[in-house]
Chain A
Amino acid sequence: MVGLSEGEKHFIRGGIAQDLRADGRTRLQFRAVTVETGIIPQANGSARVRMGATEVIASVKAELGKPTILHPGKGKVSIYVDCSPTAAPMFEGRGSEELSAELSVALQRCLLGGKSGAGAAIDLSSLIVIEGKACWDLYIDGLVVSSDGNLLDALAAAIKVALSDTGIPKVNVSLNAETDGEPEFDISDEDFLQFDTSSVPVIVTLTKVGKHYIVDATSEEESQMSSAVSVSVNRLGQICGMTKRGGAGLDPSVIFDMISVAKHVSQRFISLLDSEIAAAEAADAE
Chain B
Amino acid sequence: MSAAAAASGTYTPAAEAGGKRREKREELRRHLAEDADWPRADGRSIHDCRPAFMQTGPTTAASGSAYAEFGKTKVIVSVFGPRESKKAMLYSDTGRLNCSVSYTTFATGIRGQGLENKEYSGMLHKALEGAVMLHTFPKTTVDVFALVLESGGSDLPIIISCASLALADAGIMMYDLVTSVSVSCLGKNVIIDPTSDEEAWQDGGLMVSYMPTRREITQLTLTGEWSDGKITNAVELCMDACGKLCEILRERLKDTAVLESE
Seen from chain A, the residues whose Cβ lies within 8 Å of a Cβ on chain B are: 98, 101-102, 105, 109-110, 112-116, 118-119, 227, 229, 234, 238-252, 255-256, 259-260, 263
Contacts and interface: CB of A to CB of B under 8 A. Distances in A.
Nearest to A102: B122
Contacts of A243: 220-222
A234 B227 CA distance: 11
Given A244-B221, A252-B235, A115 B202 contact: yes
A158 B231 CA distance: 27
Contacts of B221: 109, 242-244
A114 B224 contact: yes
Interface string B201-230: 111110000010011111111111111100
Contact of B223 (A113, A246, A252): A113
Interface of B: 118-119, 122, 126, 129-131, 185, 199-205, 211, 214-228, 231-232, 235-236, 239
Contacts of A238: 225-227
Given A239-B222, A242-B221, A249-B217, A101 B126 contact: no
B100 to A, nearest CB: 13
A250 B130 CA distance: 10
Nearest to B236: A252
Contacts of A112: 223
Report which residue of A239, A246, A251, A256 has the largest number of chain B beta carbons within 10 angstroms of its beta carbon.
A239
A234 B122 CA distance: 27
A247 B224 CA distance: 24
Nearest to A111: B223
A116 B202 contact: yes
B202 A255 contact: no
Given A101-B118, A243-B221, 13 more contacts: A98-B122, A101-B122, A113-B204, A116-B202, A119-B226, A227-B130, A239-B222, A239-B226, A241-B224, A244-B217, A244-B218, A247-B218, A249-B131
B217 A260 contact: no
A114 B214 contact: no
A250 B216 contact: yes
A102 B126 CA distance: 11
A249 B179 CA distance: 13
A260 to B, nearest CB: 7
Nearest to A256: B232
B228 A259 contact: yes
B60 to A, nearest CB: 31
Nearest to A227: B130
A104 to B, nearest CB: 8
Given A244-B217, A245-B126, A113 B224 contact: yes
A119 B216 CA distance: 28
A241 B223 contact: yes
A115 B200 contact: yes
Given A238-B225, A252-B217, A260-B228, A247 B201 contact: no
A149 B145 CA distance: 31
A129 to B, nearest CB: 25
Minimum-distance CB pairs A-B, first 4 = A119-B225, A249-B216, A114-B224, A118-B203
Contacts of A242: 220-222
Contacts of B219: 244
Scoring B131, B200, B215, B216 by chain A CB atoms within 10 A of each residue's CB, the highest score goes to B216
Contact of A255 (B131, B199, B235): B235
